[in-house]
Amino acid sequence: MREEFTRISRWIPTFGKFHPSSWVATPGLFGLLAVLLSGCLTNQYNFFNYVNPSGTDMYFKVPANWSDFGPSMVFSSGKQQITPSQLAQLETGEWADVFYGQRQASLTVITGIFSSRPFGIVQATKLNSAQHDTFSMASLRTLLLPVDPLGKTSATSGASYSASSYSEFVTKSGMRGSKMVVRVKESSGATSVLDQVAEVDASTSWVYLIGVGCSATCYAQNRTVINEIVNSWSVRSR
């Protein structure tokens, strides 16, 4: 199970389009504006903004001393370099960012929420016609996880998933969303925690999410900063 979840968490995004894991790219700037707002935030955080093709804005902040991996690094693996035009085409339907609670970390050694340091993912995905027709609140809960932690079967491959908190909401612009904190317990007894917020727009066209987590010990030690990151995340539909 750990191997499966590491693959999920290490960004080939699992919802929406599947991107070949053999692609590699150098860091790019398409769709991503990273700004240090000294007047609005302290210099302890960097602020990120993604605007999708429909004009919806997604915002979040990450501690300045953490490692951040832009979309071109997220959609990469191996030695073949993706071109800027390929990346631009990908980002019209999917955008993703990964960050990690260690300075100058390597994406290849990160083990998702099983890490001993906080791991975070942010994603925006355009739904295809089939996903549009079948999307539900349960779909939001399984964007990152292999099973619904609120479902009748909340265990798979020797691991169990339980929501320690869960709530749903609707924004003024009609976006439907949910927030949950999920404990993942492996057959070995090791436990990790995922804090996730996800939303789908009023037309069920785009899905947005942020997930931050790590081992249970790490989560307890970093709960304040994890809450700060998750609470900073917002989606503004125009």
Q: pLDDT tens-digit profile of 9-27?
A: 333 333 332 232 322 322 2
- What local confidence, expressed as pLDDT, does residue 87 receive? 74
- How far out from the chain centre does Cα 68 lie? 12
Residue by residue, DSSP assigns 193-237 as: EEEEEEEE-TTS-EEEEEEEEEEHHHHHHTHHHHHHHHHH-EEE-
Residue 201 has pLDDT above 90, yes or no: yes
Interval 48-83: pLDDT, tens: 988 888 889 999 999 999 998 877 777 765 556 677
Identify the domain containing residue 199 by its residue range. Answer: 2-236
Instruction: Say which amino acid occupies 213.
Output: G
List the Cα angle 104/110/115 in 5-degree steps: 110
Q: What whole-number distance in Å separates Cα of residue 11 and Cα of residue 21? A: 9
Q: What whole-number distance in Å separates Cα of residue 194 and Cα of residue 190? A: 14
Number of domains in the chain: 1
Residue 102: name the closest of 182, 4, 218 by CA: 218
Q: What is the CATH number of the domain that holds 71?
A: 3.40.1000.10
166: three-class secondary structure by DSSP: strand
Residue 36 has pLDDT above 60, yes or no: no
